[in-house]
Amino acid sequence: MEFDADDRLVHQTLAGDLKAYGALVDRYRKRVYNLAYRMLGDRERAEDATQEAFIRAYRGLRSYRPSARFASWLFSTTSHVCIDHLRRRPFAAVSIDEPGVRPATAEGIDADPPAAYGRTETQAQVHHALGRLPDTQRLAIALVHLQGLSYEDAAEVMGCPVGTVKSHAHRARTTLKRLLTPQFQECVP
Amino acid sequence: MTCRRVRAELNRYLDGDLSDERRRGVREHLAACVACAREWEQLRGVAAMLEGLSEVEAPARLTESVLDAVGRERIAEAPRQQALTGLALAGVGLVLSTAIVVSLAGWGPLDLSGWGAWAASLAAAGAKQVAVAAEVAGPVLNALARGRSGPLVWLLAADVAALMAVLAGARRLLSVKRLRGLTNMLAM
Ligand SMILES: [Zn+2]
């Protein structure tokens, strides 16, 4: 249903309707931005990358085939843009830009300040830990755990076999476990 | 199942990727082994932390800035489109007028001025679209119109104009946009 609507908007865009592309950007702006944010680390770069991804997608719209899902195709473009950015400069979380420091007001965080502090603190820790993963592992985690994609869809986005995505995700989770719970570290008997 | 084996399976256990038999094996081990159970809780905790990351709000100005950039590109594409049309028209004119010149020269004084005029108008239309070519072709055509104007001379003039248009159009296309743009257009 949602995908049919995407394809219709793609079709209208190709026919020269710029408003249709605006509607596509509105639909996916938040998801693309969040993917870029977790990949790159800070909001300013995420904004640049999001803009770049949508411009690149527009230019390449003729190569999009409705047999693939528009979302997967767009995330794939976004991933490429992020990887390009990361080649120039690695992941860098700007602490003043963390959700923990400037929590979103819509979340009703003021209702329970100590709990909210703990939660946002954890969020910042997780965000920083993500930055210590290799880029492809972070991408797999961002697609599967943050964007909620199936391993199959994530594989389509990353252009690699499902097994490869799983192994990226497994390694990433094992590393994150070590980074986020160091106090419990023990040798395996 | 050994602890080492169980720990190697925990990620697949989390994904629900194990066969029934393996899953039962892991579950039974976790119920009996405190160390592995703690590992399992930590891994589950990581997945929960990841899924608990809140989404950040995307700046609303993004849509506008994307559309601005994309709209500018579309406007920049328009002259290339015109140049391509000019190029095609001029090309058709060139082919037609050349054919007629050849046939006139070979078969003597046939009255083909109607064809010639058509070819000339095609070439001129092409030339008009390609500004550079129009500047060259215009005066040439005018000068020829004032002087002696047998059909052959007209056709030669049309030929020259069309050739200029094609050359100018091609030059302009290639200089305005790199090859990628050209192939994009041809793919349409
Ligand atoms: Zn054990």
In order of start, what are the domains of chain A with their CATH numbers? 1-93 (1.10.1740.10)
**In terms of domains, do B12 and B96 share one?**
no
* Position B62 in a domain: no
Q: What proportions of chain A, in percent to the nearest 5, are helix, strand and coil?
A: 75, 0, 25
Judge contact between B39 and A84, C-beta under 8 A: no
**In terms of domains, do B41 and B89 share one?**
no
**In terms of domains, do B98 and B166 share one?**
yes
Q: How far is the CA of A11 from the centre of ligand 1 (A)?
A: 56
Residue B37 has pLDDT above 80, yes or no: yes
**In terms of domains, do B118 and B27 share one?**
no
Interchain pair B184, A18: CB under 8 A: no
Q: What is the pLDDT of residue A93?
A: 80
Q: Percent of chain B beyond pLDDT 90?
A: 37
**In terms of domains, do B83 and B165 share one?**
yes
* Position B69 in a domain: no
* Position B56 in a domain: no
Range name among A80-94, A142-156, B39-53, B132-146 with the lowest pLDDT average:
B132-146
**In terms of domains, do B114 and B46 share one?**
no
Residue A166 has pLDDT above 80, yes or no: yes
Count: domains in chain B: 2
* Position B106 in a domain: yes
Judge contact between B46 and A180, C-beta under 8 A: yes
What is the DSSP track for B150-175?
Answer: -HHHHHHHHHHHHHHHHHHHHHHHHH
* Position B141 in a domain: yes
Provide the pLDDT confidence category of residue A39 given band limits of 50, 70 and 90. Answer: very high
Domain membership of residue B12 as a residue range: 3-51
**In terms of domains, do B47 and B88 share one?**
no
Looking up tokens 């930590």 gives B42
What mean pLDDT value characterizes chain B? Answer: 76
Q: Is B130 exposed, middle or buried (0-12, 13-18, 19+ CB in 10 A)?
A: buried
Q: How far apart are the CA of A85 and the nearest CA of chain B, in angstroms?
A: 18
**In terms of domains, do B91 and B138 share one?**
yes
Give pLDDT tens digits for B66-120. 999 998 887 666 666 666 777 777 777 777 767 666 666 665 445 556 666 777 7
**In terms of domains, do B107 and B153 share one?**
yes
Closest by Cβ to B56, choosing from A99, A176, A177 = A99
Q: What is the pLDDT of residue B183?
A: 52
Looking at per-residue pLDDT, the higher value among A94 and A183 belongs to: A94
Chain B positions touching A34 (Cβ under 8 A) are: 55-56, 58
Interchain pair B50, A176: CB under 8 A: yes
Residue A106 has pLDDT above 50, yes or no: no
Indicate the DSSP class of residue A144.
I
A146/B contact by beta carbon, under 8 A: yes
Residue B14 has pLDDT above 50, yes or no: yes
Range name among A58-72, A107-121, B32-46 with the lowest pLDDT average:
A107-121
Looking at per-residue pLDDT, the higher value among A140 and B163 belongs to: A140
A26/B contact by beta carbon, under 8 A: yes
**In terms of domains, do B38 and B84 share one?**
no
Interchain pair B56, A18: CB under 8 A: no
* Position B66 in a domain: no
Residues in contact with A160: Cβ distance below 8 Å, sequence separation at least 6, in sequence order: none
Judge contact between A21 and A70, C-beta under 8 A: no
Q: How far is the CA of A169 from the centre of ligand 1 (A)?
A: 23
Interchain pair B42, A181: CB under 8 A: yes
Interchain pair B70, A169: CB under 8 A: no
Chain A positions touching B58 (Cβ under 8 A) are: 29-30, 32-34, 47, 50
**In terms of domains, do B45 and B83 share one?**
no
Radius of gyration of the CA atoms of chain B, in A: 36
**In terms of domains, do B44 and B80 share one?**
no
